[in-house]
Structure formats: structure tokens, C-alpha cells
Structure 1
């Protein structure tokens, strides 16, 4: 079952890869190969230069000349590679930018289609009708508010006050019937026991005893 799921997942992944993606990948692979070959030729040229110098020291001028010619050929190859690398980089950049542009165009297209559908749902006449109905409803509600806030006469106001007084009067007897608990009277004089105890404390016998 794992293999089956793996195949399904790979097919789903491959379906997302476009032809432009494949082209970009192929160009990048070619660029990497050219860079590796350029590095290899550069190292080989350095070695040939050192060998040519050694041949000159040994008096082998012809061999040194042959190596320098081969080195010169390598330099021309590197120049061509630089041009190819520049073209590949430009092509990769153009393809990637074209993909971005394509996505932007798709987004704009989807947005335009959505706007068209909205415009079909709500035409100018429909919008004007809705706005007119909304304005009329607001005006009608304002008229109702005006009637409720300022529609009572002075006689009506007097009736409201009279009814309020009547409600208050009806509620007062209930409060009076319940009654208010009476509080104990506050004594006007000090208790005799406290007065007697204070006199005994101030007597000469008590002071001598202390």
C-alpha cells in the first residue's frame, strides 16, 4: 500500500510541474555543467603554464610553446563559456519573470471575472432602486421618531403626571401599614448604681485604703 500511495503522490507532484519549470531546471543544470567544465579547464591551464615554465628552464622551448598554445586554446574556450553562461542566466531570468507575469495575468483575469459576476448581480438600476428604498425607509423612521418624541400635548403631559401621583399615593399606605419599629428611649439621667459606685470611690476611706 505504501508503494501505491507513493505513486499517487508522485503523479500529483508531477502534475504541478509546468513546461516552463522543466525548461528552467534544464537550463540551470546546463549552467552548472558549464561552470564545472570552466573550473576544470582553468585548473588545467594553470598546470600547463607551470609545466611550460619548467620546460623553459630545462631548455625545451618547443614543448613549452606547445603547452602555451594549448593554454591559449583553453582561454578561448573559457571566453565562449562565459558568453554561454551569460545567455543561460538571462534566459532563466526571463523564464522565471514570465512565470510571475503569467500568475499576475491569471490573478487579474480572475478578478475581472468576479467583478463581471458582481456587476451582473447588481446593475446600476438595481443599486439606484436599493438606495432609493433605503432613503425612503430612513425618512419614514425619522417621521416616526419625531411623532413619538414631540407628539404629546400639554393635556397629555398633565394626565401622565396625574397617573404618576396616583401610583405614588397607592404605594404609600403599604409602607405605612408595615410600620416603623420603635426605638428605645434614651435615658436622661445616669443610673443610680454608677453614681453610688463613683461616690464610694471618691470617699476618704477608699482613698486611704488605696
Structure 2
């Protein structure tokens, strides 16, 4: 499958990115030049001091004039560095503004699509219903706040339990008729009545 999860997302380099990079490179080169000139000036100052000790005043004066000229170059270099840094900041800020504008554009497109799906009247209706529900709930909360006693709470729980019991489904009663038992076909012998039994005994005598 390859290194799918470890692969870095490529970023698109814009012309603004290239311009910012070039400006930063020029700024860094000027700073290196500035550092080099400062080191040279320190050496020339020490050399001019040594020339004065040796009585070579003219050479020391010429060296100091050269140093003065280089000081002026350093001032110009410092101004150029400041201008480059300002340009870099302006470009970077412009890039941020472009991203913000792109984000706003995407947001506006989404809103337009939502408006195409929902009309203004539909949106207002939904908002009104939502607000009504919020106000209704608030009224109930305010009405119930502190108005129910512990006895009321127990009664409410008991009613809830009763409703729950009513909702429990009872087992279904079979709809088919139960099978009947076997029919009795044999007749039971009749039991003799005591009077009839006495009459038969008298006739037999």
C-alpha cells in the first residue's frame, strides 16, 4: 500500500511566496555585508589609533575618512534592510488577507446554497418556532421552580409508575375455541326409587 499515511501534503507555491523568499534572501545578504563592514571598521579604527601613536597622522586621517564613508554605507544598508523587512511584512499580511477573503467567499457560497434550499419565510418560521419552544420551556421552568413540595414529587412519581404499568402489554388471549371432550354415548343405569323397589317385592310375594 505504500506510505500512504506518512506522505506529506504538497503545498502550492504562489508568486507571493516566491517574492517573500527573494526579499528575505536579499535582506540576509545585506545583513552579512553589514556584519563584514563592521568588522572591517573596527580593525581600521585600531589601525588609525596605531598610526597616530607612530606619528603618521596623515595616514591615520586618510583611514578615518575611509571609515566615515563606510559608516555612511552602513546607514544606507540599514535603511535598505528596514525597507525589505517592511515589504516582507506587507506581502505576508496581503497573503493573510487573501486567505480571509477566500474564506468569506466560501461562506457566502454556502449561504447562497442554503437560501436556495430554504426560503426566507421558511427560515423565519423555523426561527420563530424555535424561539417559541425556548420561551415555553422557560415559562414551565419558572412555574415549577420552588412550587412543588416533596409530597407533590412523590405523587408525580406514583402517577408515572401507574402510566408505565398501563403500557405493559398483557399476554394475548387465544382466539380459537377449545376442543370439546368426547361425547358420552352410554346411558347410565337409572337408580331404583325406594317405593318402586318395595312394590316389586310385594308383587313377587
Q: TM-score, length-normalised on structure 1?
A: 0.54
Counterpart residue number, 1:112: 108
Unaligned 5+ segments in structure 2 are 1-6, 129-205
Cα distance per residue 1:23-44 (max 9 Å; x no partner) = 0000000110000000000000
Out of 73, 96, 99, the position equivalent to 1:100 is 96
CA displacement, residues 126-175 of structure 1 (integer Å, 9 cap, x when unaligned): 4578799xxxxxxxxxxxxxxxxxxxxxxxxxxxxxxxxxxxxxxxxxxx
Q: Distance in 2 between matches of 1:41 and 1:125?
A: 73
Q: 1:27 to 1:128 in 2, by over 3 A?
A: closer
User: CA separation of 1:128/1:96 partners in 2, compared to 1, >3 Å: closer, same or farther?
Assistant: closer
Alignment partner for residue 87 of structure 1, among 83, 86, 106?
83
Summarize deviations over 1:90-144 as a string: whole Å, max 9, x none: 1111100110010000000100010000001111244578799xxxxxxxxxxxx
> Aligned runs of 1:1-210 on 2, under 5 Å?
13=10, 16-127=12-123
Structure with the larger helix share: 1
Q: Offset at 1:56?
A: 0.7
* Cα distance in 2 between the residues matched to 1:91 and 1:111: 30
Equivalenced residues, count: 125
Show CA shifts across 1:62-103 (max 9, x none). Answer: 111111011001100010011111111111111001100100
Distance 2:73 2:85 in 1: 18
Which residue is 1:170 aligned to? none
- Partners of 1:85 and 1:16 in 2: CA distance: 28
The structure whose RCO (Cα within 8 Å, separation 6+) is larger is 2
Unaligned ranges ≥5, structure 1 = 1-8, 133-210
Question: Kindly tell me: are residues 126 and 68 of structure 1, through their superposed partners in 2, closer, same or farther at Cα, counting changes over 3 Å?
Answer: same
Under a length normalisation based on structure 2, what TM-score does the superposition of the two structures give?
0.55
